[in-house]
């Protein structure tokens, strides 16, 4: 892109906030309820048979992992569906791009808005786990930051997917073949140490895994310099998917 004017971002955020005021109850209800269902159904249900895992109560293990579930659902799905609907059906982007706003500013503005929202939603499962044995720590204040940077890359991924597909029904392929494995092979509900060794290599390219590692380090007070690798991995993922998103949506909207 010829330029990137950060002054465009507040205008995009303002528009998103005005619209969000109209539908926030439904979005908030879904974003909070789904990970809590996983927490109570799996954490307490399976926890009745598995008392501890990796030296902690199973419900605490799942509760910290459910943060990643909330992040995934609250970021990549809006990135896919909201972007596709605004571009194809509502033609919202045509109107926005008739102003001096560029595609890069539009995609980054929407992604940062969704990520900020996800930083709040993603912290709810962690708070809900405290009554079940998760000890409060000051380092938990870093969890919203982890949710934000994780959601940023995942939102960009959703935007990229929305620019690749031709019909909205094609999202089901990505949900089944990409998003589901990212969630379940990440240490959310069971440690990946029990899987074959090659899964450890695969997990290094899984942003959900790095999100969970950072969340658990923050919740259990085990943050170290090695945790910076997870931050770096999430940052690299956001840069890569952001570049893909901007290039793909530029082709769809401009060329």
pTM of this prediction?
0.91
Whether the Cβ atoms of residue 153 and residue 207 lie closer than 8 Å to each other: yes
CA distance linking residue 239 with residue 77, whole number of Å:
19
Q: How crowded is the C-beta side of 227, counted as CA atoms within 13 Å? A: 18
Give, for 25, the enclosing helix (H) or strand (E).
helix 8-38
Kindly report, residue by residue over 96-141, the tens digit of the pLDDT.
Answer: 988 888 999 999 999 999 999 999 999 998 998 898 888 899 999 9
Neighbours of 194 (CB within 10 A): 8
Kindly report, residue by residue over 165-174, the tens digit of the pLDDT.
Answer: 999 999 999 9
Residues in contact with 88: Cβ distance below 8 Å, sequence separation at least 6, in sequence order: 168
CA distance linking residue 110 with residue 114, whole number of Å:
6
Q: Is 55 left (phi over 0), alpha (psi -120 to 50) or beta?
A: left
Kindly report, residue by residue over 47-92, the tens digit of the pLDDT.
Answer: 777 777 877 888 888 888 889 889 998 999 999 999 999 999 999 9
* pLDDT confidence band for 1 (50 / 70 / 90): very low
Reduced to 3 states, what is the DSSP secondary structure of residue 193? Answer: helix
Query: Can you spell out the DSSP letters for 92-126?
Result: HHHHHTTTT--HHHHHHHHHHHHHHHHHHHTTHHH
Q: For residue 61, what are its two tokens?
A: 């293990």
Supply the DSSP symbol for 148.
H
* pLDDT confidence band for 12 (50 / 70 / 90): very high
CA distance linking residue 57 with residue 50, whole number of Å:
8
Whether the Cβ atoms of residue 13 and residue 109 lie closer than 8 Å to each other: yes
**Mean pLDDT along residues 185-193:** 80
The terminus-to-terminus CA distance of the chain in angstroms comes to: 13
* pLDDT confidence band for 216 (50 / 70 / 90): very high
Domain ranges of the chain: 8-253
CA triplet 115, 233, 133: central angle to 5 degrees?
70
Rounded CA Rg of the chain: 19
Is 255's pLDDT higher than 70?
A: no
Kindly report, residue by residue over 16-56, the tens digit of the pLDDT.
Answer: 999 999 988 888 888 888 778 877 788 777 777 777 787 78
CA distance linking residue 47 with residue 61, whole number of Å:
10
Whether the Cβ atoms of residue 207 and residue 150 lie closer than 8 Å to each other: yes
């Amino acid at each position: 892109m010829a330029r990137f004017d950060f002054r465009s971002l507040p205008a995009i955020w303002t528009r998103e906030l005005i619209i969000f005021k109209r539908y926030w109850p439904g979005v908030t209800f879904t974003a909070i309820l789904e990970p809590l269902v996983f927490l109570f159904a799996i954490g307490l249900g399976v926890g009745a048979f598995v008392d501890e895992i990796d030296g902690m109560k199973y419900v605490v293990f799942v509760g910290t992992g459910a943060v990643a579930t909330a992040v995934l659902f609250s970021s990549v799905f809006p990135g896919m569906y909201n972007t596709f609907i605004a571009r194809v059906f509502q033609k919202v982007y045509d109107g926005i791009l008739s102003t001096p706003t560029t595609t890069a500013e539009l995609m980054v503005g929407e992604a940062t808005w969704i990520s900020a929202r996800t930083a709040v939603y993603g912290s709810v499962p962690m708070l809900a786990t405290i009554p079940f044995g998760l000890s409060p720590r000051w380092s938990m204040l870093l969890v919203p930051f982890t949710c934000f940077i994780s959601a940023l890359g995942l939102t960009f991924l959703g935007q990229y997917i929305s620019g690749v597909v031709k019909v909205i029904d094609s999202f089901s392929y990505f949900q089944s073949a990409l998003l589901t494995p990212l969630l379940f092979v990440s240490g959310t509900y069971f440690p990946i140490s029990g899987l074959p060794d090659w899964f450890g290599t695969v997990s290094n390219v899984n942003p959900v895994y790095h999100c969970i590692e950072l969340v658990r380090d923050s919740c259990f007070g085990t943050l170290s310099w090695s945790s910076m690798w997870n931050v770096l991995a999430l940052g690299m993922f956001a840069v890569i998917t952001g570049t893909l998103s901007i290039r793909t949506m530029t082709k769809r909207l401009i060329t």
